[in-house]
Amino acid sequence: MPPFIDAHVHVWTDDGAKYPRAAGQRDYPPARFTPADLFVHTKPAGVAKIVLIQMSFYRFDNSYMLDSMRAHPGVFSGVGIVDFNGPSPAKAMKDLAAQGVRGFRLVGGNDFENPGIETMWRTGAEEGLAMCMLLGPDALPALDKMCARFPRTPVVIDHFARIGADGTIRDAEIRALSALARHPLVKVKASAFYALGKKQAPYTDLKPLFRRVFEDFGPRRVMWASDCPFQVGEGHQYAPSLALIAEQMPFLSADDRDWVLRRTAEATFFAR
């Protein structure tokens, strides 16, 4: 199988003078997780490309992510954050897209009526830029309506919509996620296994959840991701996250695995 793509990783630095955290933002351990720190985990696992997700405590200053992308050409794509309440979110998106950013993170699901967010969705449709949604299952009905309003906007749902984050994987929540499969441009990240269900490697309790989502969305609309550095903290490791898809899903064909572990992310975040 060709090298893998990790579709969701955060990087940051302890150089606060050059890359300051935004005022009032919560910090996260470790003190740093640079590309060099990341490669310690990804290279032995056969991961050759990575989608960087703008770290929340930098807010709208995407500088560190962009500098990391420039320092490693061909390795990274990016998902940025823009101020949807700012004077021109569309311009901010296009400026970042010109620097290799292919998606934009939106958190929650209660602000879909915000004019700035509507501008982002329209721009996403026009420019082929994904709305990357970090939300819980309670927000899926609102997202469903938004996808119906903007059917040409690519959408990527992070971390199975956090189904199982409280330790319980509910059938009704899986159905709510799978209902979005009716929108052809919606994709799902199978990611953040450390934070879902039993939250213990080898994460095999998540196999039924993955299978349901895979069967409804298909291999070309599901992508694996680690959510590093959180996947490698507090007793968790990188390899079991990848192994759950690469080794623990016998119903996947070799072609299916290639899509989930590489080609879906490649088509979404690296093709242009």
For the chain, the structural domain boundaries read 4-269
**CATH level 3 topology of 4-269:** TIM Barrel (3.20.20)
Cβ atoms 228, 9 nearer than 8 A:
yes
CA distance 210 to 125: 28
Task: Please list the helix, strand and coil fractions of the chain in percent, rounded to the nearest 5, in that order.
Answer: 45, 15, 40
Stretch 220-243: mean pLDDT, rounded?
Answer: 97
Burial of 59 (0-12, 13-18, 19+ CB in 10 A): middle
Residue whose C-alpha is closest to residue 189's, from 8, 18, 62, 39 = 8
> What is the model's pLDDT at position 206?
98
Mean pLDDT of the chain: 97
- Condensed to tens digits (0 to 9), the pLDDT of residues 89-143 reads 999 999 999 999 999 999 987 689 899 999 999 999 999 999 999 999 999 999 9
Cβ atoms 190, 242 nearer than 8 A:
no
Categorize the per-residue pLDDT at 55 as very low, low, confident or very high, splitting at 50, 70 and 90.
very high
> What is the model's pLDDT at position 108?
86
> What is the model's pLDDT at position 1?
61
- Condensed to tens digits (0 to 9), the pLDDT of residues 158-175 reads 999 999 999 999 999 999
* Assessment of whether the complete model's pTM goes beyond 0.85: yes
- Looking at residue 228, the DSSP 8-state letter turns out to be B
> What is the model's pLDDT at position 260?
98
Tell me which of 195 and 1 has the higher pLDDT. 195
